[in-house]
Every structure is written in C-alpha cells, then in structure tokens.
Amino acid sequence: MATAADVREALVEVLDPEYPISIVDLGLVRGVSVHGATAHVKITYTSLGCPCTELIQDDIRDRVLQVSGVDEVEIEEVFEPWTRRDISLKGLKVLEESGIG
C-alpha cells in the first residue's frame, strides 16, 4: 500500500515546466494523502492565470501512477496565495544557480 510519503517523494521528480525546480521545492504542493489505491494531491499555482496547469497536472498523474499501490490520482486545485516564501531552501539554491533567483 502506498503512503503519502511515497507520493510526496514521487512528486519531487515532477518539474515545473518554466523553472528547473520540482513542484515540491517550488511550494506548489499543498497536501498529499492516500486512501486505498487513490492518491490525493492538493496543488496551487504561482498565479491564477498559470498557463501550465494542465501540463503540471498531467505530469503529476503520470508520475504518481508509477508509485506502487496507486491506481488513481485525484488532483485538487486550491487557490491559496503563493509567494516566494513557499520555495524551499533547496529550490532557492537551484533557482540562484540557474540565474533566476
């Protein structure tokens, strides 16, 4: 049976389409849970008009379905304000090294 930690670990491999950083380190993932064989992922975006929402959700589904014990992925968009403070220290370092930070 998959755990929330398994799913969160998989999400670290999902990169933001615009920046060389995972959606976890960017601070977009707001919650992860697993109920039976269904993984639930709560996600926000850097802006309400983010043009990559479908691409990000497709990448989430593709990666999380590779987790052993997950047969379904439900993604909930939560419109919590996102700020630079949501980026992890690792994420800030990656952005700086990329010349973005």
**Domains delineated in the chain:** 4-81 (3.30.300.130)
Q: What is the pLDDT of residues 27-76, one digit of tens each?
A: 999 999 999 999 999 999 988 888 889 999 999 999 999 999 999 999 99
Predicted confidence at residue 101, as pLDDT, reads 64
Q: Which of 15, 68, 78 is nearest to 43 (CA)?
A: 78
Higher pLDDT residue, 37 or 18? 37
pTM tops 0.85, yes or no: yes
Q: Are 92 and 26 in contact (CB under 8 A)?
A: no
Question: What does DSSP assign to residue 43?
Answer: E
Tell me the pairing of strands 29-35 and 38-43.
antiparallel
Q: Are 6 and 67 in contact (CB under 8 A)?
A: yes
pLDDT category, 9, cuts 50, 70, 90?
very high
Cβ neighbours of 1 (radius 10 Å): 9
